[in-house]
């Protein structure tokens, strides 16, 4: 089981996307598929809740949402509560050897750090 904050769910999207089209060994691809099947609904829920807060406390502008001054304090409390909420993915991390990952799969240290709960490299 993987436990993550909604903040981690939201920032992991880009890094996990790298695995969607990367050619991986079948066992790694299967494990990552299972992780993504658990992850994607959690991502949708977190994004929806975040958008709902922006709509509730802000006004839509051409550049996105602007939080109304009178709502900033409550918005800050609610958005903090949302991102700190812990969710569970009913799947184990993918354990694999670094030599099994394709050399075309290039990750920055930041992306690797974000992926740590999902991917255990030996």
Say which residues have a Cβ less than 8 Å from residue 58's Cβ, sequence separation at least 6. Answer: 65, 66, 67, 68, 71, 75
Domain span at residue 36 reads 2-121
Q: What is the pLDDT along the chain (122 residues), one digit of tens a residue?
A: 999 999 999 999 988 988 888 888 888 889 999 999 999 999 999 999 999 999 999 998 998 899 999 999 999 999 999 999 999 999 999 888 877 777 777 888 898 899 899 988 87
The whole-angstrom separation of Cα 24 and Cα 98 is 11
Q: In the prediction, which pLDDT does 24 show? A: 83
If one counts the domains in the chain, the total is 1
Q: Rg of the chain's alpha carbons, rounded to an integer?
A: 17
Q: In the prediction, which pLDDT does 104 show? A: 75
pTM of the model: 0.86
Spatial contact of 85 and 58, defined as CB atoms under 8 Å apart = no
Q: In the prediction, which pLDDT does 96 show? A: 81
Q: In the prediction, which pLDDT does 57 show? A: 95
């Amino acid at each position: 089981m993987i436990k993550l904050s909604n903040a981690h769910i939201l920032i992991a999207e880009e890094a996990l996307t790298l695995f969607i089209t990367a050619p991986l060994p079948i066992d790694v691809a299967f494990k990552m598929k299972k992780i993504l099947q658990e992850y994607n609904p959690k991502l949708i829920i977190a994004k929806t809740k975040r958008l709902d807060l922006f709509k509730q406390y802000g006004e839509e502008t051409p550049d996105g949402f602007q939080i109304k001054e009178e709502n900033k304090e409550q918005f800050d409390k609610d958005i903090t509560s949302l991102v700190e909420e812990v969710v569970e993915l009913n799947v184990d991390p993918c354990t694999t050897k670094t030599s099994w990952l394709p050399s075309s799969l290039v990750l920055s240290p930041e992306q690797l750090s974000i992926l740590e709960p999902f991917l255990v490299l030996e």
